[in-house]
């Protein structure tokens, strides 16, 4: 894997990931960009013991540009973008409008990066060839390793939001990485439960789902994708490796290849479910950088708010105000529909 690091016109880091060694990534960013925004503010909520980022500069971020104005496409004459190269395989760069950071400030405030999965504006993760998926996995592992080493970073979160219904503002196939200066609330809750469980919680959940089988959607020798017994969303999947590992950095070649095959299968099922690209959130749960790495178990959570054609699940009063979810689709029915999609 060839890794090429460079800088954009305003000093942000850009990294290309390529399977070929003979590619030229020397094109410079010729844009005239304004200075980088001031760091977002982190404010503590004493009632919930949670941190909230105040990032007012994000009000001015790019919103649903036309294909001709896409800032994630490769640069071309008359259209200079965030990626100066005229082509690329996978590109990762610091977000111009970060929710956390930017890095390099006196106080640890995290960092946000954009991961472009392909130079093809009309592609999707589901349409990537298996070799390209391996490049994305290499990029995720690289960024997890590098960001975990930054001062003040406590957790690295790799994720993809897909579809305008989810809130995506750029349609080019991409994901993001947040390097949090704290451990995320959901992770803290899961680790607290695992710590107090009399045994290995994740291993027992995985074993029970594989033995029972009714909610398993896809599996191979190294990974299993299943609908959890108590899903919060109409179509929700958890993808677990069959052995415990803290984060993406420890995946070996067999792990990556097996995951890629299964993940492409699952994404294809989601898109065939209703006959159109399903909006979704795909979220990697990784261990914190400095705590509980012995009890965390890397896994992917994938869910959609689409409950039927033309019908979305909105988080209303019970979900938004109280965190108490109500799901209109039974997990067994969802698993059966996905298996046969």
User: How far apart are alpha carbons 288 and 154 in whole angstroms?
Assistant: 6
Inter-CA distances, 64 with 68, 70, 211, Å: 11, 9, 45
Inter-CA distances, 120 with 4, 23, 160, 162, 181, Å: 20, 17, 17, 15, 33
Q: Are 54 and 46 in contact (CB under 8 A)?
A: no
Provide the 10 A C-beta neighbour count for residue 238: 22
User: How far apart are alpha carbons 172 and 121 in whole angstroms?
Assistant: 5
The encoded tokens of residue 94 equal 């610091």
Q: Are 138 and 1 in contact (CB under 8 A)?
A: yes
Q: Are 186 and 178 in contact (CB under 8 A)?
A: no
Query: Is 174 annotated in the active site?
Result: yes
Q: Is 57 annotated as a binding residue?
A: no
Provide the 10 A C-beta neighbour count for residue 276: 11
User: How far apart are alpha carbons 146 and 247 in whole angstroms?
Assistant: 13
Q: Is 121 annotated as a binding residue?
A: yes
Largest CA-CA distance found in the chain, in angstroms, rounded: 62
User: How far apart are alpha carbons 60 and 87 in whole angstroms?
Assistant: 27
Q: Are 182 and 155 in contact (CB under 8 A)?
A: yes
Q: What is the DSSP string of 262-282?
A: HHHHHHHHHHHHSSSPPPEEE
Q: Is 70 annotated as a binding residue?
A: yes
User: How far apart are alpha carbons 211 and 302 in whole angstroms?
Assistant: 22
- Adjacent-strand bridge partners of 45: 50
* Dihedral pair phi/psi, residue 219, rounded to 5°: -160, 160
Instruction: State the catalytic residue, choosing from 174, 238, 285, 299.
Output: 174
- Adjacent-strand bridge partners of 157: 178
User: How far apart are alpha carbons 111 and 109 in whole angstroms?
Assistant: 7
List residues with catalytic annotation.
174
Q: Which residues are annotated as a binding site for Zn(2+)?
A: 70, 73, 121, 172
Q: Which residues are annotated as a binding site?
A: 70, 73, 121, 172
């Amino acid at each position: 894997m060839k890794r090429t690091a460079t800088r954009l016109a305003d000093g942000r880091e850009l990294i290309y990931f390529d399977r070929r060694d003979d590619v030229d990534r020397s094109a410079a960013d010729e844009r005239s960009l304004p200075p980088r925004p001031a760091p977002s503010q982190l404010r503590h909520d004493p009632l919930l013991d949670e941190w909230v980022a105040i990032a007012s500069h994000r009000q001015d971020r790019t919103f649903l540009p036309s294909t001709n104005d896409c800032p994630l496409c490769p640069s071309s004459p008359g259209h200079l973008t965030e990626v100066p190269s005229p082509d690329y395989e996978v590109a990762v760069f610091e977000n111009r409008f970060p929710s956390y950071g930017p890095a390099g400030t006196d106080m640890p405030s995290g960092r946000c990066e954009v991961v472009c999965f392909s130079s093809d504006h009309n592609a999707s993760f589901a349409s990537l060839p298996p070799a390209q998926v391996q490049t994305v996995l290499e990029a995720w592992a690289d960024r997890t390793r590098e960001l975990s080493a930054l001062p003040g970073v406590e957790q690295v979160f790799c994720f993809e939001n897909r579809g305008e219904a989810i809130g995506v503002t750029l349609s080019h196939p991409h994901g993001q990485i947040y390097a949090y200066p704290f451990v995320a609330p959901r992770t803290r809750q899961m680790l607290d439960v695992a710590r107090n469980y009399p045994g290995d919680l994740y291993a027992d959940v995985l074993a029970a789902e594989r033995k029972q089988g009714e909610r398993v959607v896809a599996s191979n020798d190294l990974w299993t994708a299943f609908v959890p017994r108590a899903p919060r969303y109409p179509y929700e999947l958890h993808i677990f490796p069959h052995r415990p590992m803290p984060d993406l950095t420890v995946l070996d070649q067999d792990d990556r290849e097996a995951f890629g095959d299964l993940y492409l299968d699952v994404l294809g099922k989601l898109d065939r479910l209703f006959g159109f690209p399903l909006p979704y959130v795909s979220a990697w749960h990784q261990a914190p950088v400095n705590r509980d790495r012995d009890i965390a178990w890397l896994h992917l959570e994938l869910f959609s708010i689409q409950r039927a054609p033309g019908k979305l699940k909105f988080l209303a009063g019970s979900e938004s105000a109280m965190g108490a979810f109500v799901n209109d689709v039974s997990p067994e029915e969802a698993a059966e529909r996905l298996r046969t999609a």
